[in-house]
Chain A
């Protein structure tokens, strides 16, 4: 199986994730779409590492995973706090911070 297929799969996953972020209102779903985008990028890194025959891409994938884990902890906490006060997880409702 050529590495090009992995890259194509990564692109597809990334676009699905991006579209999900742009069109969905539920913060939980947006969150999952962001995870999808991150993992698409991870997949692309690993595929490129394989193509070039060095480990740099794989190392970066680990970093991305750590950052994603940290992001999930903070993001979910914020999400919980918002849901407790507003009884809603829609990102369109959380629009107080504006002009």
Chain B
């Protein structure tokens, strides 16, 4: 199976038409209304909603999840090629030939996201009730979280790029508000700004892509753009793909816009779990997969996606291996895992189902890992330094068990979800058949090893070894409202693999959208086995370094590679020296020019006029008779001049 063959089949598959929704699916707008209602009530209701606000904030996502299940069940009742359904809500913009309807598209791809967002989201919301119990801003927190949920659902349900963009900006806003939720901490305020600015760069890319679509195809709806994407010239398609990739890089924290994600960990831990691990940061992958018909026709854009994915995969993994802050280590891991998804998406139609499979599996296990980190912080007085953990497995048994479940899933031990998702990604890269495919596949293989290394490191530093706790730490298991969501996520992380393994179910389900039907699979591919062996080897190395040897409480001095990784591989330094400093110089230069050049000219003119008139003013003596004399002399002069002219 080569890449080009996959492309050939796609052209037909994407021609699949979208039918109008009937029955329960016609009420798809309920998905948006539920969380939006909670957000409006909680944010406008003020303090009087403090007592019951969190209950409303949890009930609405659950209601959305129940509706999503109903819509999903209805979708399963249709044959495969009729599952894409459209709900038109209202006519947003009409300007000549340009029409934009607010419409929701329920198809196989969007329903996967809707189920993930509302399902995993609901669990995280329930967990937040316990995690934020002592926070005076809990109502505001639930308001923002519901706002996020509504925007994210709008993003994945939109049936055109403009409405998608509205959701895209909405999740960016919610992310900003939630990273800076504790805005009294300067670090949180700065992190929120950084995330917002990095996202703006990406958003500019997406908006340019949308404008390019409008000028090229005259429409921005998915149906319109994907109908004849071949009508555009290859150069335009590549530009479109690269601009979409820029948008995806911003939202999904891929190189070169990766630096905000590590700082985003300043937000409350449930935010890190929902927005910066499970859902929002995967929106970039959604964008690429959704825009498949454009990428199918531009090999260069696909290659760029794969390269960005492979680079970020290694980049994030290396950072994650050196961080002592448990949340930042997990954030590095998130970057790395999204790199996997981008890589798979860059492979083309053959990679799309695997990108989505990994995305869904990652949604479960990474949300679980973050919530476990939150439980540990809850018990350890908000300590995040893993060098002050150790030996926690006996005091936090539930947290340890769920963490271990997610651990097995993420490092790709069969038969859990990570194995089937990630190894198929690697396999898909190799199956591309080209040299680039081999290079990218190898990067992915190394990435699998690194994943195992940093996860094993986190596991041993946190749960095993000597107890290196602070003097006054009394770790205790979290209340049940926090443990049950994590247990369910852990089960999901383990069980999702089974869902994936049985006859390539997800790939076949996504087939009509991704335009790829998998060949009969061999579960244990060669790449998969190599990845497994690498994972075990790197895991053992991590055990030798952090399990067998004692972990010092203060990070020991280290050589260049480790120092570099601790400093986010100089991502901030590069941004600072390449963008921030020159920007500052530019502003300083402009200020200087404005002060000295523009203001100087204006001020000099004003000073000259002012000085002259100051002197001229002295003529006004207030002495009436001298005025009369000057009038008289003037009159004489005038008459004299007239007489002279006459003569």
Q: Which chain A residues have a beta carbon within 8 Å of chain B's beta carbons?
A: 18, 21-23, 25, 91-92, 94-99
Partner of B625, one of A92, A96, A97: A92
Could you mark each residue 618-629 of chain B with 1 if its beta carbon is under 8 Å from any beta carbon of chain A, else 0?
101111110011
Please name all residues of chain B whose beta carbon is closer than 8 Å to the beta carbon of A21 when the two chains form the complex. 625, 628, 632
Q: Nearest residue in B to A18 (C-beta to C-beta)?
A: B632
Bound-complex Cα distance A96 to B629 (A):
19
Residues on A with beta carbons closer than 8 Å to the beta carbon of B622: 95-99
Cβ–Cβ contact B628 & A99, under 8 A: no
Q: Which residues of B contact A99 (CB under 8 A)?
A: 617-618, 620-622
Q: Residue B632 contacts which of A22, A25, A95, A97 (CB distance < 8 angstroms)?
A: A22
Give the docked Cα–Cα distance between A45 and B623 (Å).
Answer: 32
CB-CB under 8 A from B624, the residues of chain A are 91-92, 94-95
Which residues of B lie under 8 Å from residue A25 when comparing CB positions? 625
Residues from chain A with Cβ under 8 Å of B618 in the complex: 99
How far, in Å, is A61 (CB) from chain B's closest CB? 20
Q: State the CA gap A94–B618 with chains docked (Å).
A: 17
Q: How far is the CB of B638 from chain A (nearest CB, A)?
A: 14
Closest B-chain residue to A27, C-beta based? B624
Minimum CB–CB distance from B255 to chain A (whole Å) comes to 71
What is the bound-complex CA distance between A22 and B622, given in angstroms?
Answer: 15
Min CB distance A72 to B, Å, is 18
| Separation of A21 and B633 alpha carbons in the complex (Å) | 13
Q: What distance in Å separates the Cβ of A79 from its nearest Cβ neighbour in chain B?
A: 12
Do B632 and A98 touch across chains, with their CB atoms under 8 A apart?
A: no
> B623 to chain A: which residues have CB within 8 Å?
92, 95, 98
Name the distance in Å between A80's Cβ and chain B's nearest Cβ.
Answer: 17
Write out the residue numbers on chain B whose beta carbons fall within 8 Å of the beta carbon of A94: 624
Per DSSP, are chain A's interface residues mostly helix, strand or loop, or mixed?
Answer: loop
* Alpha-carbon distance between A55 and B620 when the two chains are bound, in angstroms: 42
Complexed CA–CA distance, A22 and B636 (Å): 14
Residue on A nearest B621 in the bound complex, by CB = A98
Q: Which residues of A contact B632 (CB under 8 A)?
A: 18, 21-22
> What does the 1/0 interface line of B442-455 toward A look like (CB < 8 Å)?
00000000000000
* Assembly CA distance A91 to B629 (angstroms): 14
* 20 A-B pairs (CB sep. < 8 Å): A18-B632, A21-B625, A21-B628, A22-B625, A22-B629, A22-B632, A91-B624, A91-B625, A94-B624, A95-B621, A95-B623, A97-B620, A97-B622, A98-B621, A98-B622, A99-B617, A99-B618, A99-B620, A99-B621, A99-B622
User: How far, in whole Å, are A22 and B617 apart by their CA atoms in the complex?
Assistant: 23
- Bound-state CA distance A90–B620 (Å) is 18
Interface 1/0 per residue, B597-633 and A, CB below 8 Å: 0000000000000000000011011111100110010
Task: Please give the distance in Å from B104's CB to the nearest CB on chain A.
Answer: 76
* Minimum C-beta distance from A25 to chain B (A): 8
Complex alpha-carbon distance, A95 and B629, angstroms? 16
Q: Please give me the residue from chain A that is nearest to B631 by CB atom.
A: A21
User: Considering the chains assembled together, what is the distance between the CA atoms of A44 and B624 in angstroms?
Assistant: 27
- Name which residue of chain B comes closest to A97, CB basis: B622
| Closest chain A CB from B616 CB (angstroms) | 9
Query: Other than the known A95-B622, A95-B623, what 7 A-B pairs have Cβ atoms closer than 8 Å?
Result: A21-B625, A91-B624, A91-B625, A95-B624, A96-B622, A98-B623, A99-B618
Q: How far is the CA of A47 from the CA of B528 in the complex (A)?
A: 125
Give the chain B neighbours of A22 by CB distance below 8 A: 625, 628-629, 632
Nearest Cβ in chain A — how far from B549, in angstroms? 90
State in angstroms the CA–CA spacing of A25 and B620 once bound together.
Answer: 19
Chain B residues within an 8 Å CB radius of A92: 623-625
Using Cβ atoms and an 8 Å threshold, which residues of chain A touch B625?
21-23, 25, 91-92
- The CA-CA distance from A23 to B617 in the complex, in Å, is 25
Who on chain A is nearest to B632 by CB?
A18
**In the docked arrangement, what's the CA distance between A22 and B635, Å?**
14
Give the complex CA separation of A18 and B629 in angstroms. Answer: 9
Nearest-CB distance from A28 to chain B (Å)?
14
Measured CA separation A99–B617 after assembly (Å): 6
Q: What residues on A are CB-neighbors of B617 within 8 Å?
A: 99
Q: Once bound together, how far apart are the Cα atoms of A96 and B623, in whole Å?
A: 9
Distance in Å from the Cβ of B515 to the closest Cβ of chain A?
A: 87
Across the interface, which residues of B come within 8 angstroms of A91, CB to CB?
624-625
A18 to B625, CA, bound (A): 11
Closest A-chain residue to B617, C-beta based? A99
Expressed in whole angstroms, the Cα–Cα distance for A62 and B286 within the complex equals 94
Which partner residue on chain B sits nearest A25 by CB separation?
Answer: B625
Q: Which residue of A lies closest to B618 (CB)?
A: A99
The closest CB in chain A to the CB of B629 belongs to A22
A12 to chain B, nearest CB (A): 16
Contacting residues, chain B, for A96 (C-beta < 8 A): 622
**Cβ of B620: which chain A residues have Cβ within 8 Å of it?**
97-99
Q: Nearest-CB distance from B628 to chain A (Å)?
A: 5
Give the CA-CA distance A97 to B623 in the complex, in Å.
Answer: 9
- Rounded to whole angstroms, the CA-CA distance of A51 and B620 in the bound complex is 43
> Nearest chain B CB to A17's CB is how many angstroms away?
11
Rounded to whole angstroms, the CA-CA distance of A99 and B622 in the bound complex is: 8
Residues in B whose Cβ lies below 8 Å from that of A95: 621-624
Query: A98: which B residues are within 8 A, CB to CB?
Result: 620-623
- CB closest chain-B residue, reference A23: B625
Query: Which of chain B's residues have a CB closer than 8 A to the CB of A97?
Result: 620, 622
Interface readout for B418-452 with A: 1 if CB under 8 Å, 0 if not?
Answer: 00000000000000000000000000000000000
CA distance A25 to B617 in the complex (A): 24
Q: Which residues from A are CB-within-8-Å of B629?
A: 22
Q: Cα distance A66–B486 when bound, in Å? A: 103
Among all A-B residue pairs, the 6 with the closest Cβ atoms:
A98-B622, A95-B622, A91-B624, A99-B617, A99-B620, A98-B620
A98 to B625 alpha-carbon distance, docked (Å): 13
Most chain A CB atoms below 10 A, which of B617, B623, B625:
B625
CA distance A91 to B620 in the complex (A): 15
Task: Name the distance in Å between A37's Cβ and chain B's nearest Cβ.
Answer: 10
Q: How many whole Å from B327's CB to the nearest CB in chain A?
A: 73
Beta-carbon nearest neighbor of A94 in chain B:
B624
Interchain CA distance A22-B621 in the complex, whole Å: 16
Of chain B, the residue at the smallest CB distance from A90 is: B624
